[in-house]
Every structure is written in C-alpha cells, then in structure tokens.
Amino acid sequence: MEPIRIAFFDAKEYDKASFDAANRGGCDIRYFDTKLNEATVRLAEGCGAVCAFVNDEINSAVIDALAASGVRLIALRCAGYNNVDIAHAYGRIHVVRVPAYSPYAVAEHAMALLLTSVRRIHKAYIRTKDFNFSLNGLTGFDLYGKTVGIIGTGRIGRVFAEIGKGFGMKVIAYDKYPAPGSGIDYVTLDELWARSDVISFHCPLTEENRHMVNRDSIAKMKKGVMLINTSRGGLIDSEALLGGIKERRIGGACLDVYEEESDVFFHDFSGHIVDDDTLSRLISMPNVIVTSHQAFLTVEALQNIAETTLANVEQFFENGTSENEICYKCAQITACKQDHTGKCF
C-alpha cells in the first residue's frame, strides 16, 4: 500500500519532531504552518487525511471542501473537538481524535499554575533576577486543608484530584457523568461554587456549559476563590472574570486557555500590539497567570499524541474504522456507548 498522504496543519517544530519520530513510513506527512480554515483548505487537495489541532476552524464549509477534494479523514491530534462541526461531518467525512495523551501533563501543569500563583513564585523569580530579595508582597497561603472543586472527572480530572489529595486538600467534584467506583465526593454545581477555595476545570466545552463561569456563578463562589482553567477557554466568560477580579470576589486566575485564543496563542507577539483588549487586561492583573495552552506540552504527551494519531490514520485506511472515531450518531456524544467495531456511517 502506498503511504497515506496527510496534510498537517498548524505545524510547530515540536510537532514535526514527534511525528517524524513516530512515523514508521506508513504516512507521507506534508507540514503546513498555517491553520486549517476556509482560506487554506485547498492545501489538502490530493491528501487522504488532514491532521488538525485545537484552533483549526473545521466548519461546514471546510468539511464540504475537504470531502469534495477526496479527503476521507480528519485526524485531530487533541482530545477536544468543539472546533469541528460534528453534525455536518456526519455522512461526509470521518473524524478521529486522541482521547488521552497524558493526563499527568495537564494535571501537573494545573497544579504548577496554582502553586506559582498562591506562593508568588513568578514575582519572586523576577525580583531575584534584579537582586531584590525583599519578601514584601509575597505572602501566600497553605493548600493543606483547603477545598478544591473539580469540574470534570475524566482521566485528567481524576489525576488532579489525586494531586490535590497529596497536598492534603479536601476534594469535591461535579460531573454530569460521575465516574463509577472513583470514590470522589460528587456535589451539585451550586454547592461546588459555594464550598471551593480552588476550582479547577477539566471538562470538554459544549453549548450546555459554555460560559459556565459568568456573573451569576461568580456571585455564588466563595470570596477569594482561585480559578484554574487548563481545559477550554469558552468555559469562562472573560469579561465576567475581569469583573469578579476587580470586585475582589475572585482571588486569582490561572489560565492556560482563553476563549479568543485562536489568533493569539502559539504565536510570538512580543514586538507587536495585541488587539485583544480583554486578554491584555487579564494579563495586566497582578493575580492572573496566563500560559499559552501549553499544559499538554511534555515529551511523553507529544510522543503519545503522535503515535495515537498515526495509529488512528493507519487503522482507518487499513481496516475502515478506528476505535477513536468520534461518534456523530450518539445524541450524547460525550457518553457514547458504541464499541466502534464498524463505521459510524
């Protein structure tokens, strides 16, 4: 069989290194720096599959163009797929993903952000570079005995729960689909808002939970709460977050994702003016830490992403199906019970 030709969009140097290392010759990967969208979709002509990431725009027009050019598979090298019009893809093109690459990478980054914020490590680092060893303004607080509320108890959420327990924190959680036998103390969302000293988000983005952090939910939270988001930016209404910070209701925010990140994250704007006023205001806040969607970025995670993505592609073209295909037929996509022994259409 001839190598499977893949149009690889939004490619970074670390992507190329990990995918080249994992490719055993079964795929002809063509790397493109640009994102996949309506203006760039023509680059996939002549390819059997495209490989996309979180900020590629895979709407109905892109799906139609891909299908018309002969592309049979969209291979997402990520777990989330809120940037794909799943309903429109049904009957036109198949979609696979990487459901789990390294829950430890994301969960550990979430805790790293929290520790950095509450112990003011980022500020101390900057000071000592200038040989300023004053401790004024660096007072933090113990995590031990604090209550952490976890929203979403998939693999990442459960790993974060174990990390929190390791620090002596009390763990409560909310999930529409609780993990059976996990031993996690599940509570209602309102109870989680009210009880938590720290809230960490580890759930996929859906229309149902978009902007679940808003003015109303912030009003229900404990004053001084710390928010950590390493999941999807759209879970938090950024303007409401800014309001909560300015009103002193939110004690701090640790953000690895941002709802309007697609045109900003993964790029160097250090010599330019960023037009996003909301992001600029968030970054200017002394109790906000922003990282650029890097929670997944470990050697182990990159290796798993590359190996799983290429296995998905090869499995699909050899067998006509993949165990990691996203099922469009299921009304509750996140609770799909199909065993994927055949194609979804």
Q: Catalytic site residues?
A: 232, 261, 293
User: Looking at beta carbons, which pairs linking 311-314 to residues 24 or more positions away fall under 8 Å?
Assistant: 312/75, 312/96, 312/97, 312/98, 313/4, 313/6, 313/27, 313/49, 313/51, 313/73, 313/75, 313/96, 314/4, 314/26, 314/27
Q: CB-based burial of residue 65 (10 Å sphere; 0-12 exposed, 13-18 middle, 19+ buried)?
A: middle
Distance (Å) of CA 175 to CA 35, 107, 184? 32, 17, 10
Spatial CA neighbour of 230 closest among 159, 125, 141, 334? 159
Please name the residues in contact with 292: beta carbons below 8 A apart, sequence gap of 6 or more: 256, 261, 265, 266
| DSSP summary character for residue 218 | H
User: Three-class SS of residue 159?
Assistant: helix
Helices 103-118 & 155-166 angle (0-180, nearest 10): 40
Helices 13-22 & 299-319 angle (0-180, nearest 10): 50
